[in-house]
Amino acid sequence: MKLHAAHQDGYDLNGADGLHVALKELKNAPGEEIDYDVERAWKQEIDALEEISELGDDHLINPIAAFKWGQTHYIMFEWANGGTLRHFWDRNSNVHLYLDGERVREFLKQLEGLAGALQKLHGTNSQTATGLREAAMKGSTFSSSGHRLSNSKFSISKADKHQNHSLKTDPENDVSPGAAHMPVINTPDEDRDGDVKHWRHGDIKPENILIFRDKSWLGKMKIADLGLAKQHQFATEFRHQVTSTKHTTLHYEAPEAITNMKEPRSRRYDVWSMGCIILESIIWLLYGSNGLDEFYRENNRLKDHSRQTLYFTAKSQPTESGSELVAHVSDVALHWIREMLERDPECQRYTAFRQLLELVRDRLLVVPIPSKSKPAENLHRATSSELYKEVENIRKTAEGDEDYLFTGTDRRNVKVPLPFHASNEISRKKEALDNTWEVSNDTVIASRIAENKEFIYPRSLERGTSLTCEHCLELRFDNIGLVLREEVRLLQSRAKSCGLCELFHSIWSSSNTHIAEIWRVNGGLSKHQGGSPELCIYRTPPNAVESNVTEEDIPIGQPNLADISSPIYFDIIRQWVNDCDTNHLGCHIDMKESPTLRLPTRLIDVGDQHSPNIRLLETESSQGDQILQFRYIALSHPWGDTTKHHHYLTTRQNIHSHKAGIDEDLLPKTLRDAIQVTRELGVRYLWVDSLCIIQGEDGDFNEEAVHMETVFSTAYCVIAATRARGSSSGFLDARLERKVVKLERSGRTPIYVCESIDNFQQEVIDGPLNKRGWVLQERALARRTIYFAEKQNYWECGEGVRCETFTRMKNNQAALLGDSKFPKVATDSSKGGRIRLYELLYKQYSRLQFTRIYDRPLAIAGLEQRLIRAFDTQGGYGVFTRYFGRGLLWQRDVTMAPQVMKPIQFPKSQKYQVPSWSWMAYEGAISFMDLPLTK
């Protein structure tokens, strides 16, 4: 509506005939709130607006007048010609398509203004004349520096509908300053007098942020509706029975709205709401209205709207006195923040968007707040003052760095994050072949090794002693859950004198976040709840130290691994083998398979500790019933470059001398180490390709290569020289010590925290040995394997992976190749599971390296024959009759292979010909067309 120019004197209209204004009518709402009285509410809002208007903040809505027309109550405000923030979002639905640095700069400027206005609003009574008068009445004294004089144009009048309206201040008005102030909140969480009262808004949402157009793209944002939520708070504070309200929007409400109904609301309630608005603003800026709609659609899948929003979830938890509602930030909100931080190009590095998202995650959407009944936690929700400072810093950083504002990425090519439910569904579909490691403690092996006297006082333990701060000595590690939440800068400061703080800071130092979290998870300590361990935590065995309290929930472990010369080193390996022999029947050789079993043509007899003579032995390979008699270990190893490594081979010329005996001193170190391991395990025979296959052009490599399937599947176990670079480097060498911190607390078992080295994926699966083409089938066909890696040794069998650190690991994808009866895991699954298995194997195999590329069809022939029998079909060269159509749907992997896959030049002496339709006839990596498994 328009206010006639003659009816006001507070605004310069520059000759205009009137002033556009907004008129708010307060109505009684019978049945909605039993304690609601429109007259009282009107007076209270007038008092609030009068005091708040004294702030003169450009980002708070400016009231003009308040009056009554008969029994109807009105408040007049300046007119927002740009509508609400919600309307602005809707009108600019494709904002992401024309996003640039200037628009981001305007957004930051307005966000800083809103944060500053909220800061002033929360500190109103310490800044305004009205607040000073009230404080003076209570005997309080204020510094004049905190007093801002009112420049309000706000007028109050009482008008009868039969009288002319007077919009100027009326001394006879029945609403005088201080007469009926709206309830406010005591806030002991800031450095102010405990009796000083402060306003909060209580209903911040896009509909209550108004846009005032100016020459800029965005205009000026102002916080409006400064009384409605407080009115509800008034009713709540003066009754014991809590009722629902139509005046606030649960979507933007803080968790304490339902978890702490009986406690007065903190001003940090508004900070949570601002966090919601900032997150939605970022989604709108980066993905437009479609992105916001996708985010809001997540709301349709919430199960309990009385306890859930897109931002938090509250669940009932038992207590000593009954139960209580405990809130957590919602998986939906965390998912969207994580997706943007990890995938959106505007958040991949140090940018304004990234800083804002981290601010929302780490300081705004935080459930804990200080209160009288609950002490402050290490991390709590920011105050409005802290919010303002953070946004101000981001805005100032943007002043001289255009790339920080906006990277210039074409937003048309950036996809909206997958909804949380969709990403979960995809995760479930991939669960059978996922690459997530489940970690647990290997208590069986740990307890057995701990009985060894050599383990009681390992020399390495004392080297881990270091200074720790008082803060770290008070940490509790005994239960799964949050151990520490701390600012990164404080960790960095304490790291100079505290070894544990240094460890904690080391895993967070590469992150841009301001807040560090340390969680106790299965297998150690992680940065994330339920994440993979990045630090390990151990205790010493009970018989190793005298203590009153034993940390039973903390596993026994080796902070530093045993030296190669220590009896513990091979004792652990023997325990792995013995436990598998005794308890893992599925890992044993099944003699029912005897028709397909055969001994290798040749084995190396390594003798024993008393008769260490070495010789090459020819077996009766056709006699499968002799397998148990000729228990042998197979070696998987790299030969290495001939210029750097000595290749000791069996040829037609020396085979007879090798049968007579082999001088161990002449063997390269990798082979000598393999012989030592074989003897330590009490096994007499060893298979090594370089010695057991006749090498050279006149050798029997082609004949023996087709038997690789049985060589590895029939072996008692396989030893993999994972850390070796070639035949001369060996694999029984000292390991690097990791950083260890020892926590000694009076009367308690010492605790050791150290860097995690349990990384089977990186050390073994992605290690250099497993990049060799021949090794894939060696691993798949082996019943169990001991991996000698750079940082530690690993054991793999059909029951998963064991680490030298007394950790157990399982992974569904790794289990396919670690299957002791390969490919039983896959063939026990559906048709789709079998298809995904061979596609995964062939994709992985096509990426591997060969010294002779024409070995590509040969190095997987044994594994392929195993699949053909398991699938009960015919096939070869990468396809199976049962799945022939799908097998032909291979294609060049555009992420790895060259533009054209080069045909392999096979030697003329080769007895078989690879068909041109097979990927085995070409160099380069492949993938398969991603079609539904029903097709």
Per-residue pLDDT tens for 270-290? 999 999 999 999 999 999 999
pLDDT tens-digit map of 290-305:
999 999 999 888 877 7
Cβ neighbours of residue 612 under 8 Å, at least 6 residues apart?
606, 664, 679
Q: What is the band of 185 on the pLDDT scale with cuts at 50, 70, 90?
A: very low
Q: How many CB atoms lie within 10 A of CB 893?
A: 16
Write down the residue that tokens 């052009």 correspond to.
697
Residues 502-520: what's their mean pLDDT?
86
| Residue with the larger pLDDT of the pair 154 and 114 | 114
* Among 231-235, 358-362, 660-664, 740-744, the least confident range: 231-235
Look at residues 374, 399, 429 and tell me which one is the last residue of a structural domain.
Answer: 429
Determine the straight-line distance between the first and last CA of the chain, rounded to whole angstroms.
Answer: 64
pLDDT tens-digit map of 319-338:
767 778 889 999 999 999 99
Residues 299 and 397 grouped into a single domain? yes
Residue 741 belongs to a domain:
no
Q: What is the band of 9 on the pLDDT scale with cuts at 50, 70, 90?
A: low
Q: What is the band of 126 on the pLDDT scale with cuts at 50, 70, 90?
A: very low
Write down the residue that tokens 């809001």 correspond to.
296
pLDDT at 485: 85
Residue 347 is inside which H or E element, if any?
A: none
| Residue with the larger pLDDT of the pair 675 and 620 | 675
Residues 798-803: what's their mean pLDDT?
93
Contact 518, 480 (CB under 8 A): no
pLDDT at 542: 64
Residue 875 belongs to a domain:
yes
Does residue 422 have a pLDDT over 90? no
Q: What is the phi-psi region of residue 546: left when phi exceeds 0, alpha when psi lies from -120 to 50, beta otherwise? A: beta
pLDDT at 674: 98
Q: What is the band of 135 on the pLDDT scale with cuts at 50, 70, 90?
A: very low
State the DSSP code for 468: -
Residues 114-139: what's their mean pLDDT?
65
pLDDT at 241: 33
For residue 837, the enclosing domain spans 826-928
Number of compact structural domains in the chain: 4
- Quote the percentage of the chain above a pLDDT of 70: 79
Residue 648 belongs to a domain:
no
pLDDT at 910: 79
pLDDT at 244: 31
Q: Which amino acid is it at 684? A: R
Nearest to 115 by CA among 178, 189, 209: 209
Residues 179 and 280 grouped into a single domain? no
Residues 411-428: what's their mean pLDDT?
72
Q: How many CB atoms lie within 10 A of CB 425?
A: 12
pLDDT at 624: 56
Dist. CA 838–CA 833, nearest whole Å: 9
pLDDT tens-digit map of 58-109:
999 888 888 888 888 998 888 889 999 999 999 999 999 999 999 999 999 9
Does residue 141 have a pLDDT over 70? no
Q: Which residues pair with 793 in a beta bridge?
A: 788
Dist. CA 861–CA 517, nearest whole Å: 49
Q: What is the band of 510 on the pLDDT scale with cuts at 50, 70, 90?
A: confident
Does residue 19 have a pLDDT over 80? no
> Secondary structure of 132-169 in the HEC alphabet?
HHHHHHCCCCCCHHHCECCCCCCEECCECCCCCCCCCC
Residue 19 belongs to a domain:
yes
pLDDT at 378: 55
Residue 257 belongs to a domain:
yes
pLDDT at 247: 40
Residues 575-590: what's their mean pLDDT?
91
* Among 139-148, 559-568, 889-898, the least confident range: 139-148
Nearest to 667 by CA among 600, 573, 723, 604: 604
Residues 368 and 325 grouped into a single domain? yes
Half-sphere exposure of 47 (CA within 13 A, CB side): 24
Residues 23 and 141 grouped into a single domain? yes
Residues 220 and 265 grouped into a single domain? yes
Residues 20-28: what's their mean pLDDT?
82
pLDDT tens-digit map of 681-702:
999 999 999 999 999 989 998 8
Residues 200-221: what's their mean pLDDT?
92
Look at residues 527, 544, 561 and tell me which one is the last residue of a structural domain.
Answer: 544
Residues 244 and 294 grouped into a single domain? yes
Contact 99, 261 (CB under 8 A): no
Does residue 233 have a pLDDT over 60? no
Six token digits for residue 827: 């063939």
Dist. CA 101–CA 397, nearest whole Å: 13
Residues 28 and 15 grouped into a single domain? yes
Contact 222, 58 (CB under 8 A): yes
Q: What is the phi-psi region of residue 872: left when phi exceeds 0, alpha when psi lies from -120 to 50, beta otherwise? A: left
The top-scoring range by mean pLDDT among 297-306, 385-394, 503-512, 819-828 is 385-394
Backbone angles phi, psi at 95, to 5 degrees: -55, -30
Residues 242 and 95 grouped into a single domain? yes
Residues 533-537: what's their mean pLDDT?
93
Residues 204 and 156 grouped into a single domain? no
Q: What is the band of 129 on the pLDDT scale with cuts at 50, 70, 90?
A: low
Residues 213-228: what's their mean pLDDT?
86
Contact 391, 108 (CB under 8 A): yes
pLDDT at 693: 96
Residue 140 belongs to a domain:
yes
Dist. CA 349–CA 440, nearest whole Å: 34
Does residue 51 have a pLDDT over 60? yes
Name the percent of the chain in helix, strand, coil, to the closest 5.
40, 15, 45
pTM for this model (two decimals) = 0.61
Does residue 717 have a pLDDT over 90? yes
Q: What is the band of 428 on the pLDDT scale with cuts at 50, 70, 90?
A: very low
Cβ neighbours of residue 320 under 8 Å, at least 6 residues apart?
none
pLDDT tens-digit map of 436-455:
788 888 988 988 888 776 66
pLDDT at 155: 55
Contact 24, 74 (CB under 8 A): yes
Residues 574-583: what's their mean pLDDT?
95
Residues 154 and 279 grouped into a single domain? no
Q: List the alpha helices (DSSP H) in 238-267.
A: 256-259
Dist. CA 662–CA 604, nearest whole Å: 9
Buried b (16+ CB within 10 A) or exposed e, 234-244: bbbeeeeeeee
Nearest to 230 by CA among 197, 185, 271: 185
Residues 126-134: what's their mean pLDDT?
50
Residues 219 and 294 grouped into a single domain? yes
Contact 353, 286 (CB under 8 A): yes
Dist. CA 925–CA 903, nearest whole Å: 13
Nearest to 603 by CA among 689, 481, 709, 491: 689
Residues 192-215: what's their mean pLDDT?
77
Residue 192 belongs to a domain:
no
Q: Which residues pair with 308 in a beta bridge?
A: 313
Look at residues 161, 185, 209 and tell me which one is the last residue of a structural domain.
Answer: 185
* Among 287-291, 719-723, 815-819, the least confident range: 815-819
Q: What is the phi-psi region of residue 230: left when phi exceeds 0, alpha when psi lies from -120 to 50, beta otherwise? A: alpha
Coil vs helix vs strand at 18: strand
Residues 283 and 416 grouped into a single domain? yes
Dist. CA 52–CA 48, nearest whole Å: 6
Residue 566 belongs to a domain:
no
Nearest to 399 by CA among 109, 99, 96, 58: 109
Dist. CA 726–CA 490, nearest whole Å: 46
Nearest to 559 by CA among 362, 840, 753, 759: 753
pLDDT at 851: 85
| Average confidence score pLDDT of the chain | 81
| Residue with the larger pLDDT of the pair 863 and 680 | 680
pLDDT at 167: 33
Dist. CA 502–CA 519, nearest whole Å: 16
pLDDT at 828: 63
Dist. CA 348–CA 545, nearest whole Å: 49
